[in-house]
Amino acid sequence: MLPNLITKTIQLQDGREITIETGALAKQADGSVVVRMGNAMILATVVAKKDALEGVDFLPLSVDYQEKFASSGKIPGGFLKREGRLSDYEILISRIVDRAIRPIFPDDYHADTQVAITLMSYDSEVLPDCLAGLAASAALSVSDIPFNGPISEVRVAKIDGKLVINPSPKSLEQATLEFIVAGSLDYILMVEGEANEIAEEEMLEAMQFAHEEIKRHCQAQIELTAMVGKEIKRTYSHEKSDAALYDKMKAELYDKLFASVSKQIANKTERSALIKAIKDEFVANLGTEHEFEASLIGPYFHKIHKEAARNLTLETKKRLDGRALNEIRPIWSVVDYLPSAHGSAVFTRGETQSVTTCTLGTKMDEQMIDGAVISGYNKFYLHYNFPGFSTGEVKPNRGPGRREVGHGNLAMRALKKVLPPVEENPYTIRIVSDILESNGSSSMATVCAGSLALMDAGIPIKAPVTGIAMGMISDAKTGNYAILSDILGDEDHLGDMDFKVTGTEKGITACQMDLKVEGLDYSVLKEALYQAKEGRLHILSEISKTLAAPKTDLKPHTPRSFMMWIPKELIGAVIGPGGKVIQEIQKDTGATIIIEEVENQGKINVFSANQANMDAAIKRIKAIVAQPEIGEVYTGKVKNIQPFGAFVEFMPGKDGLLHISEIKWERLESMEGVLEPGEEISVKLIDVDKKTGKFKLSRKALLPKPEKPVS
């Protein structure tokens, strides 16, 4: 007997349907739903502990999105043949959901909470990532876990000039903009995506269009919550409070902290030391014998410091480091910093610094992607590294975390929009950004350094790309707000918005926005976008002083490339039996040769840092694929001798018969002593048999004809 299912249906504007079902699967979880669109089915579950751990003053939330290979009828590759650690793609989706739901939990809720989102069935017409946020929110909505939702996420794209919600993967290939937008019933929470150098108004239009759809999703979840009877959430008490201690700290420390931040010290270390000294002094004067809860001193101090820093900006329109609201920190940059790299750049903005390299490889260096949903090869990838020393911390190197994956992906999306078309670019391109200093927006430093490194490597990008991180501090009671350009790490932590925008002089190529405040008006977002544009163009003018356009030539040690097309039927001749021919050419010349069938033709790419080696490889390939022409003279090698003549290889892989009658004008009775195997001789192609395609050669045609007949 089937369980009692509760289902809610959402109809998209184009008639497609999304259904949310609960009551059948994973019933021991605090909340579980199955979200379905077409044949795509996502199971989302949420479990939370009743109590918080002692001393925890934050939300220990984990979000994991995973795609089962069986969902698309695949078996995992590798030796284990089972799903392993999350792929970068799954991590990116997990991050998007996390960033959307984390701000919606109550500030004083600190119980360990886990959201698991699993793709159970795949539909080639549905991209599942645009349903993950809806599924997570719905699972929370049907649970008793405190949650100030619901929220939802949708993908908005512009295809053929029209905005579309949750388009198919095929139609998305033609999109000029593509954003994942998350929001609640009342406001936008998160935006991430890329675009083809669009204007700010176009981006705002897409966000508003997406929000209208999100509102409908949220309303459906509110109705679903009522259907399952989960309007009342569990009670909890995860924070201790001590009003007397807070009042004492506020009275003694606020003015000191406000005076401290008002000094507007540019150096992060000095600024932090001054704040720490105020806290240490308070703790020392408090003594050991007091009736206050000591564990609350840290959180209360942070709260008062945050209030003082925010009020400084709101009241004086000045910032922690003394800059004006729209002022960018000093910038310096250099290219060709690393002499052995194919392209390199150092970009420094204030106390944030990236050393970035660009390496050019062949098709064999392409990144293979073997996922449950996405498979194939990637010719452009960017890796972002964030070592502990960049912030003056001791931190073991354990490989890239989710933050590194997310920051690298944002920079990659920003830069890929200006790369030359695939058919014009023979190289696999790897960008690596090593952050050596960090105090605000190292991902945007990566974009700037990556743009410079690409140009230094000689890649003909359409235009340089720069990026900027915007912040905001606001007061909901008064409506007062301040938009900050090029935010510090502290301003990111203390502020209400982190809005990263990248683009060229022409328009926006990528963005990532996280909001921590409710009810942000679109007019404020518009102001932030235009202030970001002003900042981007300033940064562009600064890096243009270093390098304004791609270098016209590659570095001497960078592999050159040569591309040629051959008839499909000659691919085998170039490769040879078991790869013998192509391997021999590569061994003899040192060049790298890539051959593949493209659109019913053979495409050959030759790579070599040595021009002589490349020329030698090209010559041998051309000799193999050259078509024999009647009347042409060739230098051939005798392969074997028969009583009736000799077989001569006159072109690579092509043998012809040199009949005994065509060797000399004189009549030969036998082949004995006339030619030797391996001997090189000149021959002329005199005919090709129309039926068999066999070649007929002549040597005597190249010899002077005797004046008198010979016998």
Give the 3-state DSSP-derived string for 672-683, with helices as H, strands as E and coil as C. Answer: CCCCCCCCEEEE
Helix (H) or strand (E) holding 19: strand 17-22
| Residue 112 annotated in ligand binding | no
Q: Which residue matches tokens 């709101």? A: 314
Closest CA relative to residue 573, chosen from 563, 560, 584, 582: 582
Residue 561 forms beta bridges with which residues? 607
Reading the block at residue 498, the tokens are 């982190």
Closest CA relative to residue 689, chosen from 630, 649, 634, 626: 630
CA distances in angstroms from 634 to 89, 366, 623, 630, 657, listed in the order given: 56, 40, 11, 11, 13
Helix (H) or strand (E) holding 472: strand 466-474
- Cα separation, 508 vs 154, in Å, equals 20
Helices (H) and strands (E) in the chain, counts: 14, 29
Reading the block at residue 679, the tokens are 């001997």
| Residue 498 annotated in ligand binding | yes
- The DSSP code sequence of 643-656 is TTEEEEEEETTEEE
Q: Which residue matches tokens 């092509």? A: 654
- Cα separation, 484 vs 466, in Å, equals 17
- Contact assessment for residue 475 and residue 481, using Cβ atoms and an 8 Å cutoff: yes
- Contact assessment for residue 350 and residue 448, using Cβ atoms and an 8 Å cutoff: no
Closest CA relative to residue 296, chosen from 237, 239, 248: 239
- Contact assessment for residue 630 and residue 670, using Cβ atoms and an 8 Å cutoff: no
151 phi, psi to nearest 5 deg: -135, 175
Task: Reduce the DSSP state of residue 393 to 3 states and report it.
Answer: coil
Give the 3-state DSSP-derived string for 158-199, with helices as H, strands as E and coil as C. Answer: EECCEEEECCCHHHHCCCCEEEEEEEECCCEEEEEEEEEEEC
Closest CA relative to residue 149, chosen from 59, 225, 49, 35: 225
Closest CA relative to residue 490, chosen from 267, 298, 192: 267
Bind-site residues? 492, 498
Q: Which residues belong to the annotated binding site for Mg(2+)? A: 492, 498
